[in-house]
Amino acid sequence: MPEVTAYAESKGVDVMLWVIWHTLEKQWNEAFDLFEKWGIKGIKVDFMNRDDQMMVQFYEAVAQKAAEKKMVVDFHGAYKPCGLRRKYPNVLTREGLIEFEYNGWTNQDDPVHHNLLPYIRMFPGPMDYIPATMRNSTKENFRPIGDYPMGQGTRAHAMALFVILNSPMTMLPDSPSDYYHEKECTDFLTKIPVEWDETRLLKGKIAEYTVLARRSGNEWFIGAITNWDERSLDLETSFLEPGKYRLEAIEDGINAGKRAEDYRKIETQFQAGDVLKLKLASGGGWVARITPVR
């Protein structure tokens, strides 16, 4: 591990460890002291899967101990948020939802579910959903595959989730080779922040569709998703400051309803107040980066 952390530091990368909660509990002080010695900056604690009194106390103990060691925390296999990160801001995010990995054994993580999360689960706090898979599927073609799960919905839908679903620390679900292979999409994802100055729900209906805008500095990012229904939406841009803007977007390709990986990248310019026309395929989406033209 010292070799790994030293190499990561030379590349400007911090290292987090994925740990099993019971193993951590049994070696409490020794584990945290060793992590600190190695230069670990955070831990992802997993497999708790309960919310009894003892486990609630364990969460707070982890948050406090990690804060003392100047480490961040992600609770996976977690119960729903309860305000812990207000007291311990080093707790960045937690699971507490049906998320991408469920595609390995069930069809519950579908575009209908995606259009429930912003209105229900996201209210109490960030969620470790693991968005932006490059393995995309239509409703008809989806199959749960444990060791190689696919996501339900189009490529543009999957990428829009990276904007819509809030988490200050976000993991990608696929193998690195999948993202190397999809360079255009990966390059777009690297431009999306994970911390925001402003958030606006532009339009939406629970379980049906969502259009959410987030601002970081002078840049806006917008994600739009639909359930399994095809949908055309008019996107008002009057929320922007007056002026001219550059738009870079990933949208559903012409064949996305049959081949979910099909997408189209567009670049254009528009004036604040213009209406943008969005056409979403079944399980489709649209994601955009908007920057002012100087």
Give me the active site residues, please. 46, 101
Are the C-beta atoms of residues 249 and 289 closer than 8 Å to each other? Answer: yes
What radius of gyration do the chain's Cα atoms show? 20
d(CA 90, CA 106): 32
Angle, helices 53-68 vs 28-38, to 10°: value is 30
